[in-house]
C-alpha cells in the first residue's frame, strides 16, 4: 500500500493533534522578528564599525518590519559587548557587528569570557577595509624607510597608536615591528577615532589604521600616508605604495574585516534570512557607492564562508602574536 493510500486511514484527530503540536513553533518562526533587534557594536560611536552598523540597521528595518537599535558596548578591548551577545538569547533579536578583533583577542587575553567560535553563529562577512601607515603631516618622516631608520637609531623612542589592546591595528603594527626589526612603543586608545586624535595631536609617531578612519585626515592634509598594508595598492590612494613594496617588505599584508554574528544556537532559518537580507543590502549600488569612499569592499558571504575566515584568522593572528612575543594576560 502506498503512503498516499495510507493517509486517508489516519484518524483526523491524530492529524489535528500533530498540527496543533507543530503550529506554535511554525508560527514563532514565521513571526520573527517579534521585537526590536539589538545590534551590538563593541567599539565607541563615531568609528567605522559604528557607521556601518547604523547603515545596515537603517536598511534592514523596513525589510524586517521591526526597529533595529545600534548599541555601543565598549570596554575590555571589545570583550564587554562581545560577551553580551554570547550570553544573549539565541532568538535572532540580538546581533553582533564587529571586526577581526573578534579573533585577535584570543592572542591578548588569557581568559576570554566567551569562545569566539563555539559561542557564536556566523551570519555574514560584511566586507574588508585596507590599512594605511600614516604619520602626522608635520612629521619629518616622508617615507617608510625614513620611519624605520629613525626607529633603529633610537630604539623605543617612537610610538604607534592603536584602537586598543588586541585590535587588528596593534597586530598590524606588531607585524611591522617584527618584520623590520624595530622597537616601537604601543599607545592604546579606546577606539579608532581616539587613536586618530592621538596621531593628529602628535602624541604618537605613527599609526597603522583602517583607511576609513584615516582618509578624511589624509585628504585634509593633516595626515601623511606613507604606505598601505594590503598586497595591492588601493584606488583611493593610487600613488601610495604598499608596505611590501615601499621598504621593500615582502609578505607584509594585513587588513580589517567586518562581520555579523549571532549567539550560538540561533535557528538556521533566522541566520539565513538575516544573511540574505544583509547581502542584498551590500549588493545595492547606492550602498556600494556610499561605502566605496570609505575603502570598504562590501563582499558579503555565506555563514560557512565567514566561519572559514574566522578560523583562518585565528591561526594567522596567533602566529603574528607569537612572533611578536605577545603573552596573553
89 and 139 share one domain: no
Q: Domain boundary at 246, 276, 297, which?
A: 246
190 and 226 share one domain: yes
Domain of 232, in residue numbers: 130-246
Q: Domain boundary at 183, 217, 246, which?
A: 246
229 and 179 share one domain: yes
137 and 219 share one domain: yes
Give me the pLDDT at residue 4, please.
40
Give me the pLDDT at residue 325, please.
82
Using the structure block, give the residue that is written with the C-alpha cell 615591528.
177
Separation CA 55–CA 290 (nearest Å): 10
Is residue 152 within 8 A of residue 182, CB to CB? The reply is: yes
Give me the pLDDT at residue 30, please.
54
Any domain includes 12: no
Q: Domain boundary at 221, 246, 271, which?
A: 246
93 and 168 share one domain: no
Q: What cell does 45 get?
A: 560611536
> Nearest 5 degrees, angle CA 71-CA 76-CA 79?
60
Phi, psi of 266 (to 5 degrees): -60, 130
Is residue 242 within 8 A of residue 65, CB to CB? The reply is: no
Is residue 236 within 8 A of residue 256, CB to CB? The reply is: no
Q: Which regions in the chain score pLDDT beneath 70?
A: 1-30
Give me the pLDDT at residue 162, please.
92
195 and 176 share one domain: yes
227 and 147 share one domain: yes
Give me the pLDDT at residue 192, please.
82
Is residue 50 within 8 A of residue 43, CB to CB? The reply is: yes
Separation CA 44–CA 196 (nearest Å): 13
Q: What cell does 60 get?
A: 534592514
**Domain count within the chain:** 2
CATH number, residue 199: 3.40.190.10
Is residue 213 within 8 A of residue 207, CB to CB? The reply is: no
Give me the pLDDT at residue 76, please.
84
The model's pTM is 0.77
CATH number, residue 319: 3.40.190.150
Amino acid at each position: 500500500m502506498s503512503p498516499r493510500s495510507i493517509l486517508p486511514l489516519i484518524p483526523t484527530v491524530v492529524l489535528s493533534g500533530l498540527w496543533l503540536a507543530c503550529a506554535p513553533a511554525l508560527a514563532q518562526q514565521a513571526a520573527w522578528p517579534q521585537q526590536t533587534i539589538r545590534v551590538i557594536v563593541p567599539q565607541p560611536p563615531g568609528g567605522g564599525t559604528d557607521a556601518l552598523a547604523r547603515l545596515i540597521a537603517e536598511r534592514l528595518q523596513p525589510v524586517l518590519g521591526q526597529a533595529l537599535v545600534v548599541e555601543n558596548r565598549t570596554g575590555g578591548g571589545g570583550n564587554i559587548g562581545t560577551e553580551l551577545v554570547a550570553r544573549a538569547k539565541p532568538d535572532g533579536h540580538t546581533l553582533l557587528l564587529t571586526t577581526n578583533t573578534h579573533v585577535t583577542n584570543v592572542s591578548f587575553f588569557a581568559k576570554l569570557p566567551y569562545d569566539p567560535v563555539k559561542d557564536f553563529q556566523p551570519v555574514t562577512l560584511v566586507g574588508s577595509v585596507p590599512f594605511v601607515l600614516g604619520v602626522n603631516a608635520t612629521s619629518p618622516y616622508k617615507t617608510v624607510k625614513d620611519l624605520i631608520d629613525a626607529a633603529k637609531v633610537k630604539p623605543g623612542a617612537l610610538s604607534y597608536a592603536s584602537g586598543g589592546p588586541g585590535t587588528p591595528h596593534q597586530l598590524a603594527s606588531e607585524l611591522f615591528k617584527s618584520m623590520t626589526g624595530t622597537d616601537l612603543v604601543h599607545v592604546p586608545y579606546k577606539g579608532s577615532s581616539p587613536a586618530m586624535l592621538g596621531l593628529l595631536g602628535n602624541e604618537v609617531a605613527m599609526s597603522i589604521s583602517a583607511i576609513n578612519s584615516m582618509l578624511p585626515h589624509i585628504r585634509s592634509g593633516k595626515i601623511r600616508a606613507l604606505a598601505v598594508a594590503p598586497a595591492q595598492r588601493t584606488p583611493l590612494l593610487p600613488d601610495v605604495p604598499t608596505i611590501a613594496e615601499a621598504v621593500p617588505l615582502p609578505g607584509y599584508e594585513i587588513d580589517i574585516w567586518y562581520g555579523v554574528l549571532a549567539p550560538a544556537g540561533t535557528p538556521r532559518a533566522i541566520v539565513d534570512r538575516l544573511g540574505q537580507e544583509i547581502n542584498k543590502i551590500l549588493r545595492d549600488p547606492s550602498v556600494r557607492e556610499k561605502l566605496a569612499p570609505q575603502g570598504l569592499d562590501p563582499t558579503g558571504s555565506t555563514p560557512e564562508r565567514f566561519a572559514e575566515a574566522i578560523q583562518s584568522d585565528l591561526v594567522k593572528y596567533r602566529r603574528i602574536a607569537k612572533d611578536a612575543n605577545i603573552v596573553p594576560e
